[in-house]
Structure 1
């Protein structure tokens, strides 16, 4: 396994990333953190996916981690640029948590996994206060409401035949996220329910990681 830092460039913008490259890769997975997160939070999940034989690329979105730019609507292009960057390895899965989950599902990736994806357009005052109190200090932004403006401006994600998708959410998730995920029960989207998981820790849980790994095995036909 070869691990290195890479800077993904598009339209003069630099996206910091950490890439794991196994020998003879069978495809790739872009790993996307949530609001207030960073690529380093996702390295455990990225490593487990790389052990399957997939190149994994964990990125810092606009306003997060080592990405020096402020949070903005163009954040969606960070994921698209990373997906395109990984195309040389074969088919690409996008795996994201929360805001990153919404962006992953909306991406051009062949496969997408949303872990507690922020699918709703609007959020309650309680949820807004929690995010502003506990996450805003970790983000470079010009307005305390910026993330909600971005979520409202993103396209509504709907399951489609072009992209195979799977969603994972927790029993103690953010209410709006839990409800939005449950509403997908009538679709062909695979829904995975993690008992006891909070929104903030679900991507660390072994049950979540096993669910992701099993889904990647199926999609990429891996042993």
Structure 2
């Protein structure tokens, strides 16, 4: 397993570059993967509970550090937060089609940042009673992803 480091966006972009050689690409990710999808060069992106914030409260930092510890091989504890702060902000004014999906019971900072995009140029979907730790396993999330991809196809974007 590779370590999570500052090259994570570079790694994602290399995969997307290859996939684009085959046709249109859709990047879908959860949490850190959600923001990576949204800032990537993919033609379409879906961020599920994306970590849009650069700064999290102390309680959230503890949760993220503990949860990440068993899922990701970090060089040192807290590397995730350091990498997150260095990532570019999401641009919803580019030509890429983007959708945010988040849970109503997600991490408070994520709920607030996702809600802030509801009135912009983006598609924002709230999944009732979903938490950060289970949203990627729920049928409603899968149906939202499928529905969004179908919309893009119907608009002849794909």
Cα shift readout 1:26-62 (whole Å, capped 9, x = no counterpart): xxxxxxxxxxxxxxxxxxxxxxxxxxxxxxxxxxxxx
Structure 2 counterparts to residues 58-207 of structure 1, below 5 A: 68-207=1-140
> Quick check: which one's helix share is greater?
2
CA offset at residue 105 of structure 1?
A: 0.4
TM-score norm. by structure 2 comes to 0.92
Q: Tell me which stretches of 4 or more aligned residues in structure 1 moved more than 6 Å.
A: none
CA offset at residue 181 of structure 1?
A: 0.4
* Cα distance in 2 between the residues matched to 1:115 and 1:89: 25
Cα shift readout 1:152-208 (whole Å, capped 9, x = no counterpart): 010111212310111100110011111000011220100101001010110111111
The 3-state SS of whatever aligns with 1:127 is helix
What is the CA RMSD across the aligned residues, in angstroms?
1.4
* Cα distance in 2 between the residues matched to 1:89 and 1:215: 21
Count of equivalent residues: 155
TM-score norm. by structure 1 comes to 0.66
Greater relative CO, 1 or 2 (CA 8 Å, sep 6+): 2
* Cα distance in 1 between the residues matched to 2:110 and 2:52: 7
Larger radius of gyration: 1
CA offset at residue 147 of structure 1?
A: 0.5
CA offset at residue 142 of structure 1?
A: 2.1
CA offset at residue 144 of structure 1?
A: 0.8
> Quick check: which one's strand share is greater?
1
* Cα distance in 2 between the residues matched to 1:138 and 1:207: 24
The 3-state SS of whatever aligns with 1:177 is helix
CA offset at residue 137 of structure 1?
A: 3.0
Cα shift readout 1:49-91 (whole Å, capped 9, x = no counterpart): xxxxxxxxxxxxxxxxxxx332111101121111111123311
Report whether the alignment pairs 1:213 with 2:146.
yes
